[in-house]
Amino acid sequence: MNNADTRILPSTETTQNIDRREFLKITGTGLLVAATLGVPDKRAQAAVSSNMRPDVGANLGAYIQVQADPANAQKNAITLYFGASEMGQGILTGLAQLVAEELQVDWTQIKTAFTPAGLIVDGKSAYGNPLFGYFQGTGGSTSMMAWYSAIRDAGATARQKLVAAAVDYFNTTALPPSNQPVVDASTANCVASGGFVYYKRGTAEQRQVLYATIASAANAKSAGALTWVGTSNVIGTRAKRIDIPEKVYGAAVFGIDVMVPGMTFATVVHSPTVGGTVASIPAAPTGSQLVPIPGPNGTTIAVGVVAATTWDAMRIANSLAIKWNANTSVDSAAILANAQSLMTTGTPSTNASELENVGDAVTAYAQATATIDATYQLPYLAHAPMEVMTCTVAINKAASPIECEIWAPTQGQDSCIYAAKGILGGATNVTVHTPYLGGGFGRKFETDYVREAIVIANAIGKPVKLTWSRTQDLRNDKYRPFNLIRVRAGGTGTGVDAAFSSLIYRNVSQPVNPGAEDAGALNGATGLSYAIPNRKVEYVRLLQGAPVGYWRSVGESCNVFAVESAIDELAKKLNITPVAFRQKLLASNASGLAVLNKAVSMSTSTATNGSATVPSGSARGIAYMEGFGSIVALIVEIAMDSTGKIKVNKAWCAAAVGKVINPDIVEAQLQGGIAHGISAALWGGVTFTAGIPNVSNFSNYRVMRLPEMPLVTIATVDVTLPSRLPVGGVGEIGVPCVAPAIANAYATLKNIRVRTLPFYPGSTMGGL
């Protein structure tokens, strides 16, 4: 076995995280095709005039370049440039697969690169996510949905332009076998395949030309009416991920690994109490500089510590006698009491996206023959990505305007740009480079750590890499909000005649966007495709609590727990099984029913690690969700371990995600989402006592380790999606069904209904 054969050298042949200077060198060579997103001409014009993309007059968004390989003119170099962040969800690979298919080349021939972010015109980013209003950011499981059609169109455009250029080439160039040009080359007898365009392929008159040879000429050709290729040589296959080799060889550059010339190192100490401020900063110990980090209203909220290495900075940070003005307001008992009060007397939001009112739920509930009244409680959750918060900044104050370069493992490139302009001035020329993220999960949308790095770099006049300690990361998160959810559900009939007649649902939680509408708070509770004719779904804002942000699956992470637990609770009262009840509720939803039934059949078939009967001492629970453009049904099988705690042994997950671009990636995301969901359901939770969080490291924020991973069996189901789009989201959909499926299984196993998560608060885990 020759390992060198399997080794693709990192950083030069796989993903290039190109910097701006290199980026500009690529312009003008070969064929450049943009993925058209209806970008206004004004942005394209601005791009041209700003030198970001001097010769691309076309619309921007993402683009494909075909040129000769600089190292070998007989080879094509085909590169996809785009602005989404790769955080393990595989978007880098998925989008590149689309390009490989449309250009009809072998998967190994595609390269990718992340475009530097920096150009925003009229609030829209040159490489913006069309599903985020052209804000450049990666999240909401939107990337494939956002880019699928545009990139296929761009690939088809490139292919058709190359064919058109080849037609000219064959009609004017002397080539074997006749050593003359032909006279009859046309798009009808030329075809692109494997990196060449062929004339009369498969005949004695065949000629071919390498894409790179005609790439420049192709720019001026018209693609004609676009047709996507009908092949599936790359799309739909288990194409090996582009970024995996460098991650396995330790060569991948994550945000925390960035090194720039002249760089120094820093960490930050935040207030020990949430919302506290600095009262006084001691003198900087030898070998360090201390930088106050400003907060609102002239306060200082943290202290940056700059030193020769990250460790020196952290060591010094731990020893600093900073005096703090404590803030004791964030307190879990107080938050719960407030939420409970709002549950009974709070005023629900009147924003149309924050309520649902169908039929007459109150009357129907009063007339129901069986009811449940259940209040569910979900804790603040930390993100705890394996890569802590980190950011590298280099500011060139000598330039006019000031130049600020940011290397951040960010999910929100545009937020970083606005953060820099807010600190350094609106005229600042900002470029954001996105290295790999060591986990995002929604935390890396936030710019707190980016702002800190900018402030520090600005203060010390040198490039700096800021790295938070794990303790700072867990204690200064933007947590998944605490949720208190009351569900009153009414039903009629019994057994096969059972019907879910009314749903009165009230969610009390903090909005992730205070001051703005927060439809996300009710995702997973509104627009249910279940046959529930009367519904009153409300949201009451909780306006005090810990800092909150987007956590993997956001609103669904809470509302699906409440809805799917409630369905089981009502089913029990109506004397119908959880599966049969859901089948009834989805009776006129063919797609949903297919997904549900697929999960059920997997769990009962030995071919899919299932069994016709549930093993003795075990129980199964089911949950269903529509969200992020996709449909998921999950069944878990649990038993109690030797310590009397839940062990999830098996899971069967059926998902409709539209066209499966890469089944391997879809499976990985579902497996990972399920693991994430189990951690959250069994152990996850952050509480606060007089402003102090109860977590300090993984030792007291327990997450799943390998022995706890169940055997997960996945199937995708090819049905029409609720959105009618060709693809649905994948990154977050594995999470929400886990907690309710476990709670439902537990209720079956122990006849105990758990409505407050996690199952085992205060769980710890030992070291190595």
Q: Looking at beta carbons only, is 308 or 366 nearer to another protein?
A: 308
157 close to 59: Cβ distance less than 8 angstroms: no
Provide, rounded to whole angstroms, the least separation between the CB of residue 248 and another protein: 5
Q: Binding of another protein at residue 227 (CB under 8 A)?
A: no
Nearer to another protein, 241 or 486 (CB): 241
* 514: its two tokens: 């205070």
CB 167 within 8 A of CB 221: no
Whose tokens are 């009451």? That residue is 540
Query: What is the distance between the alpha carbons of residues 14 and 136, in angstroms, rounded to a whole number?
Result: 23
Q: Which stretch binds another protein (CB under 8 A): 42-50, 311-319, 483-491, 592-600?
A: 311-319
Strand partners, 535: 358, 503
Residue 387 lies near another protein (rule: CB under 8 A) = yes
476 interacts with another protein by CB under 8 A: no
Pairing verdict, β 403-407 and 390-396: antiparallel
Q: Which amino acid is at 309?
A: T
Contact between residue 80 and residue 154 where contact means Cβ atoms under 8 Å apart: no
Where in 342-371 is the site for another protein (CB under 8 A)?
A: none
Instruction: Say which residue the tokens 């993903």 belong to.
Output: 15
Which 423-442 positions form the footprint of another protein (CB under 8 A)? 436-441
The binding track of 446-475 with respect to another protein, each residue x by CB under 8 A or -, is ---------------------x-xx-----
> Which CB, 246 or 354, lies closer to another protein?
246
One character per residue 706-745, x = contact with another protein (rule: CB under 8 A): xx-x-xx---------------------------------
Q: Contacting another protein (CB under 8 A), which of 119, 197, 704, 754?
A: 704
765 binding another protein? (CB under 8 A): yes
> In the window 41-100, what residues touch another protein (CB under 8 A)?
87-90
Residue 228, interface with another protein (CB under 8 A)?
no
- Residue 193 tokens, joined: 């395949």
Instruction: In angstroms, give the least distance from the CB of 633 to another protein.
Output: 19
Residue 247 in the binding site for another protein (CB under 8 A): yes
Min separation Cβ 327 and another protein, Å = 26
312 makes contact with another protein (CB under 8 A):
yes
Residue 675 binds another protein (CB under 8 A): yes
Q: Which is nearer to another protein, 196 or 701 (CB)?
A: 701
Residues 398-427 that bind another protein (CB under 8 A): none
Which of residues 209 and 704 has its CB atom nearest to another protein in the complex?
704
Q: How far is the CB of 384 from another protein (least distance, A)?
A: 6
Tokens at residue 49, please?
């005039």
* Residue closer to another protein, measured from CB, 129 or 267: 267
Tell me: does residue 630 bind another protein (CB under 8 A): no
Site for another protein in 123-182 (CB under 8 A): none
Shortest Å distance, C-beta 622 to another protein? 21
Give Cα 667 distance to the centre of its chain.
15
Give 6 or 588: the residue with its C-beta nearer to another protein: 6
The verdict on 642 binding another protein (CB under 8 A) reads: no
Residue 506 to residue 484: CA distance in whole angstroms: 8
Rounded CA gap, 755 and 472, in Å?
Answer: 30
Q: Are 681 and 757 in contact (CB under 8 A)?
A: yes
Q: What is the DSSP string of 425-445?
A: -TT-EEEEE--B-S--TTGGG
Structure token pair of residue 74: 């007989």
The one segment of 174-182, 328-336, 479-487, 702-710 that binds another protein by CB under 8 A: 702-710
Dihedrals phi, psi of 171, to nearest 5 degrees? -80, -5
Burial class (CB in 10 A: 0-12, 13-18, 19+), 371: middle
Report in angstroms how near the CB of residue 618 gets to another protein at its nearest: 19
**Residue 356 forms beta bridges with which residues?**
537
CA 54, CA 62: separation in Å to the nearest integer? 15
Please list the residues that pair with 536 across neighbouring strands.
357, 504
**Counting contacts by CB under 8 A, is residue 240 touching another protein?**
yes
Residues 6+ apart with CB under 8 A from 447: 410, 412, 415, 416, 418, 419
Token pair in block for residue 71: 């190292």
Q: Which of residues 249-268 bind another protein (CB under 8 A)?
A: 249-254, 256-257, 259, 265
Could you say which of 73, 220, 248, 590 contacts another protein (CB under 8 A)? 248
Asked whether position 691 contacts another protein by CB under 8 A, the answer is no
Which one-letter amino acid corresponds to residue 567? Answer: I
Asked if 407 and 464 touch (Cβ cutoff 8 Å), the reply is no
